[in-house]
Structure 1
């Protein structure tokens, strides 16, 4: 229920940050302006007694976030990869949110497995460990399949997680409604739709069968990718609340010192992480949308291992083509072309000035071309791009939020391995290959072949279809005039679209 009772939940959020001592740490980490500091203190301090106590053994911000619940933990996981935003110390504290949260009892996990798979755990597995990792949605146990002797990871959904997420998301919906009511200008960002999108993502993440399907599809797409591994699911040992997959043996991506000690080239790994994300997003349109340190390992041979496929992102082929046009325009530093593509695709309202928009894009792009790429922060870039989208009235396109978020997270992971990484140079080969494949004669030939195949498939129906259309036109009465509708391309796109498109474009600088 999204009623006023959620006010208590929001007040309790501020009160928890006050009670745990996290408020000051968080405000200092983001270098909050004086007005925001005063407002936060006024909202939190009087209600301090309402805040959750949390685990006093944890650092303040981590303590507050874990006490508030899984939705807040998800947000903390994103921040844990952004040392350039929250500082290296706080980022290190938040990193435990990725896979080192307090586990629930193993006996409880076994009971869930037995209820889901309808067999005793001992009948399924000859070995079954205590939890080896615990995150916001589920925890993982290392096991050995009794029938085959194969070592596997058994992921078990946390008890009561669905109810906990519903409570948090209801409060987020209520907050979004208040924001839209008090600040009409925020409606173009569609905060309610953003929360609804987040809700759909986390709801899907709570069904392990969907995660198994995503892992299977992702494995098929990436089977020929060099230096990349995916643990494939074991369908017969999986269900709605349980997912069994191959065990991924490797060093945690977040342990830079261990990787160096093992002889790995962390600069090369950082570069590969960026390239893999772009390959999957642009080439396949299906990408891992939760690529933080806790979901990545490095194998003994240097391969990147990705796991936990509860959150996946998709981009349709048309949108990828639009991005290709945007990227190509940025490569040529042809800002008029980039602006025109945005208007043709309906990403910017038609009543805006295309020339002024092109000039705003130039203000974003030119400083990048002349700067040391290792000094460019994606956070700073996104902040400026947000100002541009606000000025030109671009509403948020919620289906691209995952792409935008993942791009920032992946940059954070790569920079944690190699702070001097030139992200643009790392990305350039992947994006260039995509442009060659999708913006030339080869792409036209491919599109023509698809049209011919479609016509061939429906060929037997065409004569009857033509006869029906001609008959209806000959016998139809004149229809009353109706106002014309705008073409679908003029529908609202959004801030996320420009942010992601331009952000990828910058990578080619």
Structure 2
């Protein structure tokens, strides 16, 4: 009973902060919690500077870690917010004031049940980075047989109470998503509840640094034979749920072109390597770094590109990779019917929609972009605009593709900063064409078909066993439904009507406390 008032009071705090930055449009577009929004309008600051997206970014930064992470997640939803607001949210800085070294010591020593000095011979008390989820300190390990002077490492420590604050705010987001799905049938195709669940899963992974360490190790294995790209080694003996220790990187940030040139490195070759690595992540491995901004990419003296910060990762299964390959090849060759057909084959566009009309839509988006000079062509922007027009064709949101589109946009931005005169996808074109031939040609399709047959054959005994068990139960006792199924079949009350009185009470009570 107390959960709902707490949610509504937190919602009121959020609305007040949005109003102070003249960013209430975020809640107004959803069209729910109208009493809260109406009350918050009394506090709107019409003189707040900047574009709508900039005002929203400042409001989310003030609201704290969960809001910052949610804003970064929203930055991939140009289909929902528009390109300008999404672009402004992309610049939302994941930076907070650092927490004190006394807390760092307490967390490390509680995680490993030993004094900090026994784990690290040196430990810099001042962090080199402080973000919404964790902060990073440089350290040196004690001398070892293979490292007589110790190893230089970077130590990542979770913020105190970050999990508690996240659970409080995620409850508000789920509540709003449930209301949206109940009250706005037109927005169900955007999958608000599923989107919040994916956001929750992503942040939960970030809040257990063992998962991040595992992601780094997996990607390191994927690239272990590639001399052009690598991942820092994880020190598992000094890694736990709230602490991760990794090899410290000595290199030049990928976007500092003057330093690259001074070190005798070729920026064009660096971008070629970055493009190849990203392509291999997505199409070869189906496991990609979803936050490859310049601060997470470095270049070592020998030209090797190194990625750090594996808290946000994306996965794409093999069928989706194949559909993406069809789309990419179709756009590059101007075969727009092929692009449209890939959407229908994947089931992203309902079968009752017109293939010809969607083909026309694909052409209308691609021609203005693909007709630009080569170095100005953005495949990521093309995909973003494609997602925006899908409402006309009742396409459901594909969160994994939205994450990929955002990652491509960031990677393209790095490419333009380092080598403005080239297109990074054109640099990777030989690899793209080779992958297309191998995976979209006759042998690739035959291999996919054989894998499908093998998978079906492996599942067949379980299917027959379940069918036999179901037939036996029906023969003995008739058809019985699980209690959860019966519960789901009962008519549901509109949650808007259930919570509206509480909303009004919470708003009125809080207004009385406003100073």
TM-score interval w.r.t. the shorter chain?
Answer: 0.7 to 0.9
Distance 1:91 1:363, change over 3 A: closer
**In 2, are the aligned partners of 1:6 and 1:174 still within 8 Å (CA)?**
no
Distance 1:79 1:467, change over 3 A: closer
Q: 1:103 aligns with which of 75, 98, 102?
A: 98
Give secondary structure in 2 for the equivalent of 1:102: coil
Answer with 400-409 or 191-200: which moved more: 400-409
CA separation in 2, counterparts of 1:70 and 1:184? 31
Question: 1:11-26 to 2 correspondence within 5 Å?
Answer: 11-17=15-21
**In 1, are the aligned partners of 2:286 and 2:315 still within 8 Å (CA)?**
yes
Q: CA deviation at 1:349?
A: 0.4
Q: CA deviation at 1:152?
A: 1.3
Answer with 144-153 or 71-80: which moved more: 71-80
Answer with 421-430 or 206-215: which moved more: 421-430
Aligned partner of 1:503 in structure 2 is none
CA separation in 2, counterparts of 1:304 and 1:387? 34
Question: 1:15-414 to 2 correspondence within 5 Å?
Answer: 15-17=19-21, 46-47=42-43, 64-74=59-69, 85=84, 94=91, 97-98=93-94, 101-130=96-125, 131-148=127-144, 149-180=150-181, 183-376=184-377, 381-382=382-383, 384-414=385-415
CA separation in 1, counterparts of 2:184 and 2:453? 51
Over residues 229-283 of structure 1, what are the superposed CA-to-partner deviations in whole Å (9 max), with x where a residue is unaligned?
Answer: 2112111111111111111111233544544444443344334333321210111
Give secondary structure in 2 for the equivalent of 1:140: strand
**In 1, are the aligned partners of 2:129 and 2:135 still within 8 Å (CA)?**
yes
- Structure 1 vs Structure 2 CA RMSD: 4.1
Q: CA deviation at 1:406?
A: 1.5
Aligned partner of 1:483 in structure 2 is none
CA separation in 1, counterparts of 2:344 and 2:98? 50
Q: CA deviation at 1:364?
A: 2.2
Aligned partner of 2:503 in structure 1 is none
Q: CA deviation at 1:423?
A: 3.9
CA separation in 1, counterparts of 2:466 and 2:308? 53
Matched, 1:7 2:11: yes
Distance 1:176 1:77, change over 3 A: closer
**In 2, are the aligned partners of 1:228 and 1:304 still within 8 Å (CA)?**
yes
Structure 2: which 5+ residue stretches go unaligned? Answer: 27-36, 46-53, 145-149, 479-515
**In 1, are the aligned partners of 2:369 and 2:378 still within 8 Å (CA)?**
no
Distance 1:450 1:212, change over 3 A: same
Distance 1:416 1:164, change over 3 A: farther
Over residues 130-164 of structure 1, what are the superposed CA-to-partner deviations in whole Å (9 max), with x where a residue is unaligned?
Answer: 21211121111111111421111111111111122
**In 2, are the aligned partners of 1:291 and 1:410 still within 8 Å (CA)?**
yes
**In 1, are the aligned partners of 2:140 and 2:151 still within 8 Å (CA)?**
yes
CA separation in 2, counterparts of 1:43 and 1:409? 38
Give secondary structure in 2 for the equivalent of 1:224: coil
**In 2, are the aligned partners of 1:10 and 1:171 still within 8 Å (CA)?**
no
Give secondary structure in 2 for the equivalent of 1:4: helix
Over residues 6-41 of structure 1, what are the superposed CA-to-partner deviations in whole Å (9 max), with x where a residue is unaligned?
Answer: 4313313313525xxxx69x99xxxxxxxxxxxxx9
Distance 1:276 1:142, change over 3 A: same
Distance 1:142 1:337, change over 3 A: same
Over residues 466-496 of structure 1, what are the superposed CA-to-partner deviations in whole Å (9 max), with x where a residue is unaligned?
Answer: 99999x99xx99xx9xxxxxxxxxxxxxxxx
Aligned partner of 1:496 in structure 2 is none
**In 1, are the aligned partners of 2:70 and 2:199 still within 8 Å (CA)?**
no
Over residues 55-96 of structure 1, what are the superposed CA-to-partner deviations in whole Å (9 max), with x where a residue is unaligned?
Answer: xxxx988764432111333356689999x95799x899x57x
CA separation in 2, counterparts of 1:433 and 1:238? 39
Aligned length: 440
Q: CA deviation at 1:422?
A: 1.8
Distance 1:343 1:64, change over 3 A: closer
**In 2, are the aligned partners of 1:144 and 1:152 still within 8 Å (CA)?**
yes
CA separation in 2, counterparts of 1:138 and 1:465? 46
Give secondary structure in 2 for the equivalent of 1:5: helix
Distance 1:453 1:235, change over 3 A: same
Distance 1:145 1:172, change over 3 A: same
**In 1, are the aligned partners of 2:275 and 2:425 still within 8 Å (CA)?**
no
